């Protein structure tokens, strides 16, 4: 049995958090890019839940609510 006791364990947390963030960001970009083109499929759950604005409209429902906008873009607004 080997017991490891790093002296400064909290100092390693930011490094691992940065690695995890980078991997998540890369995975999201790989998910959104198909054959070298950006594909924003609003039917896809990952795309739908991470997309905040598209085509000049705020499309995410939580952000719309936070901004005091109606739940869905009204007919006078640009569509996505």
Asked if residue 76 and residue 47 are part of one domain, the reply reads yes
Task: State the DSSP code for 67.
Answer: T
Mark whether 70 and 46 lie in a shared domain. Answer: yes
- Tokens for 1? 């049995």
Count of domains for the chain: 2
- What does the pLDDT look like over 8-60, one tens digit per residue? 888 878 888 899 999 999 999 999 999 999 999 989 999 999 999 999 999 99
Predicted pLDDT of residue 73: 61
pTM for the full predicted model: 0.64
Question: Looking at the structure, do residues 62 and 30 belong to the same domain, yes or no?
Answer: no
Are 51 and 74 within one domain?
Answer: yes
Q: Is 30 within the bounds of a domain? A: yes
- Residue 60: name the closest of 69, 51, 68 by CA: 51
Please state the rounded mean pLDDT for residues 62-80: 75
| Domain containing residue 52 | 41-80
Radius of gyration (C-alpha) of the chain in whole angstroms: 20
Q: Is the dihedral of CA 63, 64, 65, 66 positive or negative?
A: positive
The reply to whether 51 and 27 lie within a common domain is no
User: Would you say residue 6 has pLDDT above 50?
Assistant: yes
Residue 68 belongs to some domain of the structure = yes
pLDDT of residue 14: 85
Residue found under tokens 């609003």: 42
């Amino acid at each position: 049995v080997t017991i490891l006791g790093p002296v400064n364990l909290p100092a390693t947390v930011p490094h691992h958090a940065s690695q995890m963030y980078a991997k998540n960001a890369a995975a999201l970009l790989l998910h959104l890019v198909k054959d070298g083109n950006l594909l924003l499929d609003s039917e896809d759950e990952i795309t739908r839940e991470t997309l905040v604005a598209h085509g000049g409209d705020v499309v995410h429902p939580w952000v719309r609510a936070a901004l005091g906008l109606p739940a869905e873009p009204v007919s006078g607004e640009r569509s996505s």
